[in-house]
Chain A
Amino acid sequence: MALGGARFRYIISSNTLGRFGLAMGEGAKRILLVEDTEVNRVVVRRLVRELNVSLEEAENGQAAVDLIRGGRTYDLILMDKEMPVVDGHEATRQIRSLGVTTPIVALSGDSLESDRDLFLQAGADEFQPKPLTRDKLINIFSRYGLDYD
């Protein structure tokens, strides 16, 4: 998709098999991962594979905002900080300005207070230092009422 010279790529993938090899039900929670680093996307994709959630991915903040503007809804958004085109702070601000109240968990490789404050001011619900582990992800899901079993 080209937009004024910029190129955006959306990756929409679903965990089609639950833990016991069953197709996921209609009630599977929808997570949006906004992350430009491919390694991190691959790891999170694998982490959520055994959890009963559906994962969609956006490679930068602008792509995430476009998905939401286009009508897609999510139960949780995992938002990286440093991204090209539109970074995590700005994407969070824009998503909140659209009236979206989906929980947004900010992710950053830094644990700087300033980073956390900026994200919270932009409208994020929580700030998590990277890397994400399976336990951290499960704790996040539990905090926001996402059934992952």
Chain B
Amino acid sequence: MLGLDAARLEADMNRLMAQLFHQGVLDEQFMQLQQLQDDSSPNFVLEVISIYFRESEKMLTNLRHQLADKEVTDYTKIGVHLNHLMGSSSSIGANRITTVCIALRAASEQCSWARCLRCLEVLEHEYCYLKARLHELFQMEQQRVIAAGVRYRPQLA
């Protein structure tokens, strides 16, 4: 039987997950990732998300750099970085980020610098939000593991 702390943490984690799904921040693909985590890969989700954050930050920096000067913006390169970001975002279930990437790609295909910039700002905001929430989730899991010595199994209604 879980101690009170572990039970409370599990409830908090379920609430956070439900919130992220309800907000559309995450989708079913994130659940798929969690289902791939087991005793032989106990840190699988953390490993994948860490790689995702590392790669995404590079892509976001590249996008920001591409849009720094309207006169020399290379919309083809924007498309390349975006495809990379979209691919990895959809693989981890980062639904809202994927959606904004699609909007940014549409703006880049129209060579609309102002729209690209606006979309990039939204993208950066969504990325920061996702990163903060997932860090929160992983911290709670870590505390829960210490409290109860078990791995989190999501209970999503």
Partner among A37, A46, A47, A49 whose Cβ is within 8 Å of the Cβ of B88: A37
Chain A interface size range: 10 to 19
Q: Separation in Å of the B100 CB from the closest CB of chain A?
A: 14
Most chain A beta carbons < 10 A, residue from B44, B83, B92 = B83
Q: Separation in Å of the B34 CB from the closest CB of chain A?
A: 12
User: What residues make up the interface of A, taking CB atoms closer than 8 Å to B?
Assistant: 36-40, 42-43, 46-47, 49, 80-82, 109, 130-131, 133-134
Instruction: Please tell me if the beta carbons of A38 and B87 are within 8 angstroms of each other in the complex.
Output: no
User: Can you pick out 6 interface pairs between chain A and chain B where the beta carbons lie within 8 Å of each other?
Assistant: A40-B91, A42-B51, A43-B33, A80-B87, A82-B83, A133-B32
Inter-chain contact total with CB atoms closer than 8 Å: 53
Instruction: Please tell me if the beta carbons of A130 and B90 are within 8 angstroms of each other in the complex.
Output: yes
CA distance A80 to B84 in the complex (A): 11
Most chain B beta carbons < 10 A, residue from A39, A46, A81, A134 = A39
Chain B interface size range: 20 to 34
Instruction: Please tell me if the beta carbons of A38 and B51 are within 8 angstroms of each other in the complex.
Output: yes
User: What residues make up the interface of B, taking CB atoms closer than 8 Å to A?
Assistant: 29, 32-33, 36, 41, 44, 47-48, 51-52, 55, 80, 83-84, 86-88, 90-92
Given A39-B88, A109-B87, A130-B90, CB of A46 within 8 Å of CB of B51: no
What would 10 more interface pairs be, CB under 8 Å, given A49-B41, A134-B36? A39-B52, A40-B91, A42-B48, A43-B48, A46-B41, A46-B44, A47-B36, A109-B86, A130-B91, A131-B90
Instruction: Please tell me if the beta carbons of B83 and A39 are within 8 angstroms of each other in the complex.
Output: no
CA distance A47 to B29 in the complex (A): 13
Partner among A46, A49, A130 whose Cβ is within 8 Å of the Cβ of B87: A130
Q: Separation in Å of the B153 CB from the closest CB of chain A?
A: 17
